[in-house]
Chains A and B, each alone.
Chain A
Amino acid sequence: MTRFIIRRLLLTIPVLIGASLLIYAMVYALPGDPVRALAGDRPLSASVQAQIRADYNLDDSFPVQYGKYLWGLLHGDFGKDFSGRPVLETISQRLPVTVKLTIVAVVFETLFGITAGILASLRRNSFFDNLVLISTTMLVSIPVFVLGFLAQFVFGFKLGWFPIAGITDGWFSYLLPGLVLASLSMAYVARLTRSAMLDSFSADYVRTARAKGVGRTRIVLRHVFRNSLIPIVTFIGADIGSLLGGAIVTESVFNLPGLGRAIFDAVRSQQGPVVVGIVTMMVFFYIFFNLVADVLYAVIDPRIRYG
């Protein structure tokens, strides 16, 4: 098992480096002036431009540039905004909010999605099953930001059940945004669970379990669900990426001071380096969580562990 973890870790490192290289190349190596590109319409004096070029080593050759950039990343240098404030500062301030939001979203996604999926698969073609299928299809079609407004308007403003914005109510203020953020993923998890369960129902080992006299409930939970867990866990791990992207919108709609909101503001105020810096951090988190999901996958599936 440890060997598996080490192997996975070793495979993750080139991915991390590759991703950072890709981001760096996009920002700093494409034709055109990167400083201009990052600044957008913002007017910059010649001296400020020169300062930025020096800060980002833009006058060095590309490998050197990238090397220094990577070195900086490893030391927590995620760039600076146009007033000289390090992005890392913004990140550390805003990170806790996004973490909480993501946790709430994952909990909702897992709890509701899996439960709905299991129940739908057990009562195939029933009213409940069709309800699940229709509602998940619709949830998947409605963009997160629209859902955000609607939820905020209906449940926050009109019904007053939840705070409309901000984090003043502690964990409670994360409930509605978390639910909104989780909606798309929840729909996918429900459908995936349903189809994985249905597939497993027709597996040979289920027939064997029936032949042994195992009761229906036990078959569903300990045989079918246990095997269906494998694709579900893999999916949830991979899906964190879309949660991070969705957080940008959700935090803006509900005015949560997290990383997503920071990106939103930075886009608005054309602070290119901030956008790049925070997104880079998010990408690192994402790759890390994929690794965790991979390991979890090995824990669940002995064929991977003792392959």
Chain B
Amino acid sequence: MSNSPSDPALAPELVEGPGTDPLRPSDHADGTREITQPQLGFVGWLRWGWRQLTSMRTALVLLLLLAIAAIPGSIFPQRTADPNGVIDFQTKNPDLYPVLNGMQLFDVYSSAWFSAIYILLFISLIGCVLPRTKHHFKALKARPPRTPARLSRLDDHAETLRPVAEGTDAGASAAHIVDVAQAQLRKAGYRVERYDTAAVGGRPAVASVSAERGYARETGNLVFHAALVGVLISVGVGGGLTYTGQTVIVEGDSFVNSLGLGYTSFNPGRFVDSEALPPYSLTLDSFDVSYVPVGESGQGMAGDFSANLTTREPGQDAKEQSVRVNHPLDMAGDRIYLMGNGYAPTITVRNPDGDVVFREDVEFLPQDANMTSQGVVKITDGLSDQLGLVGFFYPTAMTLHSGALTSAYPALVSPLLTFWVYAGDLGIADGTARNVYALDPSEMTLLAGSTSDVAALQLEPGQTVDLPNDMGTITFEDNTANGGAETVKRYVSLSIHRDVGAPFVLAFAVIALLGLLAALFVPRRRLWVKAVPADAGVRIEYAGLARGEDPAIAVAVADLQRGLETALDGEKA
């Protein structure tokens, strides 16, 4: 079993060992020797199970299983990546959904079966890497192995006969040749060891050097696998300390980093203290965007998004910074990402007496590339009835042949706002949480727009129109009148992340890549040079043995021979 390089057996790697041996280099081809199993007790079975789990074959099967198990996550929508897709799937396939949901096919990467595969894989990996590390540690301290008796039996070998000058001692000459070879090998980065044998009986004295290089191959292999464990731990631990939150800021408004104040949604990891978020605030001064002009290819395409913020941290001066796509803002350890943008028309509603009962920047959600947007206004108090308005906003309004309105361009060329008006019960009196972007009209009466006889309300910036049934008036404020740059305010949606694990994941991934490079490309090989006094001089034998994948072993032996002979010829001259 033992296959340590210090093994006195000659060229032990020529003897194939059992396949479950974890001490082999990764690219070692296993032999086919049969193992006869003894009777196993409980501990024996445990050990057998452990051997099976940590065997290369099991690791391979687990790897392939992992590849197959990952695929469903790309076929079915996943809750983490595409929650709306899951809801959509549920609506469209009400019968299939519970079955697939029971199989955790909408949470593949946190499912029991996927977790089982990768946890087993990592146990197998650790079980394989630990003993190999121990073995490699020993190998690093060991001397290169004894020179095999018959170098000519190795695949890559060469032999030359070198005449010695008259009167020179062939034995001393042989030792000198090996001295030169030893120096060359050492210079080439090999670890070297002399194995000279004195003349015994009829046999002449033999000088030989054994050289080994490429320990970095196994080091790299171990580092790679250990770094993968590091990646997994960083992801796991980091996930517990990570939080992500979303917020929306309208131009001129501020966000305060505190749960309950600023966030529209917040997803903390298991160990996050939501009460102790770093204190800072963000004010959206302006939002820049450019659109490809009409007539050019990609007309209306938006780009160069930039949310220009004033950021404030305790004890520091306010700073003007911007968040752009690909360029998140670092803020007290958080990273702030620009996720979306839209228009937020300022709406004022007055009762018949002219008192303001509602005045807000209402965020409208974009529905298409030309920023046709939809928003909802809910007026709970101050009017004769609760009022629900479903609005459409067209930054560049245009009438289709069908008579329907659409937006032809995303910029504010001819902005138009339309409202359907519902009156009745908004359904918020009982305290149930309601989506601010959606209206449930089931308890309400349609007063204008849609299927009603009354046309939908239409407003341009600065315009005021009457609400149906003399309920009051509604105004679409012109923002330029209040010193704004554009007629309609814009808003941005920001995503705020803290991911303490990410830098560690990156570091381990880079270490893994470096380890992989060493493990795949550093050749591990042994070379031998032996000099034996012969009839007409000294017979020099060269041989090389690749340990693992090494396409250049033959070249290495040829180079060794050429290098040594050039050096010896140089000495002679």
Partners in one complex: no
